[in-house]
């Protein structure tokens, strides 16, 4: 009998404690034939992404050590500052290191185009994004106007690298405004705003030096990540050189136009963030797994998923469906699975789990959505872990015909129920 005052999802958790000693190596469907024209693919020739995760873990050890060696003291000071001035709960040292890397990434990748864009265009695009986000009736018109404005006025020098090596801290405000105008960097902007605030507390030369350190670190990261992770993102360059340039003016042109290094940053940030959140996640007693609807097979149009409010759960209508298989596996270990139809609905789901204390949330998403999603869960104090799709396949952004996506199901199960999964989380926080 449902408990009064509890959400549908919370009621479903009653009596679902994960059994100990559960066999996690259940049979999985064999990997299918290779799919052409994938933007990224984390799998090896045998259809497994296990090697990717092993390589990523080693690379992130090196990455955090490199950032700490160049800017460890500044990162610790930054952590103390955001806790005191922004009332932000403590995060791991590795997460603060990723924040500094994100600052360098934003300046290197988007600093030049932000400075070249006209102030009126930035302001107009920000207003149109506000309008489409709050007025449902105006979404299609606002999106079309934004697409035209972004193409003509906000992306004139997208392929140019910054000519400057020193960035005055006050110029960060222009970059932040440009990022907000695109509508694609909400969570990244939140991190950059904290750095912009912190930099104002430093002497001018010290602030400029820290910005230079951030951009130098990103240059190092771009080179090393391409060497280590570039094999998994070969499709990005092919897409940008071909299909992307022939698509005309679209609302998702900034999202789809991201470079391979942005995928690599999502990989690394997700690994480091998972480590930072692991101890808190392990303390939760109930688990929810959020999976994208694109995991369904090609019969998605015939899907009979149960819908109740924002809840969307698998009914088991198709034995071959990946969501059905994941749901059955998770049910065996006491976790509940929910479908998220699109990334735009992710925040609604997070409102649910922000209120449901004691629930650990595992979110599956494509690489370009997983970092913003992880940041948002972190900001909402949700004990979470993130698992990227092995490859994307939606027609909305990447393909002319959709294909069912995939995820490393064994890793998903283990990361959901195994204490201290994988590498030990960092021992201390700033």
Q: Quick check: is 274 in a domain?
A: no
Give the model's pLDDT for residue 310: 74
pLDDT for 362-399, tens place per residue?
999 999 988 888 888 888 888 999 999 999 887 777 76
**pLDDT class for 121, splitting at 50, 70, 90?**
confident
pLDDT for 19-29, tens place per residue?
434 444 433 33
**pLDDT class for 158, splitting at 50, 70, 90?**
low
pTM for the model stands at 0.86
Give the model's pLDDT for residue 25: 41
Domain boundary among 209, 229, 264: 264
Domain boundary among 264, 297, 314: 264
- Name the domain count of the chain: 2
Q: Quick check: is 317 in a domain?
A: yes
Q: Quick check: is 426 in a domain?
A: no
CA–CA distance, 315 with 307 (Å, rounded to integer): 10
Whether 211 contacts 169, CB under 8 Å? yes
The alpha-carbon radius of gyration of the chain (Å, integer) is 22
Domain boundary among 264, 293, 311: 264
Q: Are residues 295 and 221 in the same domain?
A: no
Q: Give the DSSP letter of residue 358.
A: T
Q: Are residues 24 and 130 in the same domain?
A: no
Q: How far is CA 387 from CA 213, 261, 274, 374, 411, in A?
A: 30, 19, 9, 10, 8
208, with CB counted inside 10 A (0-12, 13-18, 19+), is middle
Q: How far is CA 217 from CA 67, 75, 223, 264, in A?
A: 7, 13, 10, 14
pLDDT for 288-310, tens place per residue?
999 988 888 666 778 888 887 77
**pLDDT class for 230, splitting at 50, 70, 90?**
very high
Q: Give the DSSP letter of residue 292.
A: E
- Per the prediction, the chain carries an average pLDDT of 83
Give the model's pLDDT for residue 6: 45
Region of residue 358 (phi > 0: left; psi between -120 and 50: alpha; otherwise: beta): left
Q: Which helix (H) or strand (E) holds 337?
A: strand 335-340
CA–CA distance, 269 with 60 (Å, rounded to integer): 9
Q: Are residues 126 and 211 in the same domain?
A: yes
Write out the residue range of the structural domain in which residue 191 sits. 50-264
Edge-to-edge order in the sheet of strand 286-292 = 335-340, 286-292, 359-365, 384-388
Q: Are residues 331 and 238 in the same domain?
A: no
Q: Quick check: is 407 in a domain?
A: yes
CA–CA distance, 299 with 321 (Å, rounded to integer): 9
Which among 65, 97, 67 is positioned nearest to 429, based on CA atoms?
A: 97
Which among 285, 424, 418, 425 is positioned nearest to 360, based on CA atoms?
A: 285
Q: Are residues 342 and 300 in the same domain?
A: yes
Q: Are residues 222 and 326 in the same domain?
A: no
């Amino acid at each position: 009998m449902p408990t009064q005052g509890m959400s549908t999802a919370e009621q479903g958790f009653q009596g679902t404690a994960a059994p100990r000693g559960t066999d996690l190596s259940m049979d999985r469907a064999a990997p299918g034939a290779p799919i052409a024209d994938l933007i990224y693919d984390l799998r090896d020739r045998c259809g497994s992404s296990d090697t990717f995760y092993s390589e990523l873990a080693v690379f992130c050890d090196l990455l955090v050590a490199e950032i700490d060696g160049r800017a460890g003291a500044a990162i610790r000071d930054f952590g103390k500052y955001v806790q005191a001035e922004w009332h932000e709960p403590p995060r791991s040292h590795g997460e603060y290191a990723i924040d500094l890397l994100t600052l360098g990434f934003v300046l290197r990748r988007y600093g030049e185009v932000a400075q070249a864009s006209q102030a009126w265009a930035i302001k107009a695009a920000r207003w149109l994004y506000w309008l489409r986000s709050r007025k449902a009736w105006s979404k299609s018109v606002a999106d079309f106007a934004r697409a035209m404005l972004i193409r003509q006025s906000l992306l004139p020098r997208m392929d140019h690298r910054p000519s400057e090596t020193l960035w005055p801290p006050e110029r960060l405000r222009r970059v932040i405004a440009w990022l907000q105008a695109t509508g694609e960097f909400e969570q990244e902007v939140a991190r950059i705003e904290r750095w912009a605030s912190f930099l104002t507390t430093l002497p001018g030369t010290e602030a400029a030096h820290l910005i230079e350190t951030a951009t130098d670190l990103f240059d190092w990261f771009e080179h090393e990540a391409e060497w280590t992770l570039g094999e998994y993102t070969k499709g990005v360059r092919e897409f940008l050189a071909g299909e992307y340039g022939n698509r005309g003016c679209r609302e998702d042109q900034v999202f789809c136009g991201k470079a391979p290094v942005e995928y690599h940053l999502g990989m690394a940030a997700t690994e480091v963030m998972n480590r930072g959140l692991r101890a808190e996640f392990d303390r939760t007693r109930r688990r929810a797994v959020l999976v994208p609807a694109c995991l369904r097979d090609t019969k998605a149009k015939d899907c009979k998923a149960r819908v109740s409010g924002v809840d969307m759960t698998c009914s088991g209508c198709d034995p071959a469906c990946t969501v059905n298989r994941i749901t059955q596996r998770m049910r065996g270990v006491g976790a509940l699975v929910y479908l998220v139809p699109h990334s735009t609905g992710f925040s609604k789901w997070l409102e649910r789990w922000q209120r449901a204390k004691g629930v650990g949330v595992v979110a599956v998403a494509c690489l370009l959505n997983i970092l913003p999603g992880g940041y948002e869960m972190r900001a909402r104090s949700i004990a979470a872990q993130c698992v990227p799709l092995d490859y994307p396949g939606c027609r909305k952004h990447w393909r002319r015909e959709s294909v069912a996506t995939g995820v490393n199901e064994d890793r998903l199960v283990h990361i959901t129920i195994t204490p201290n999964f994988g590498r030990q989380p960092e021992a201390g926080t700033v």
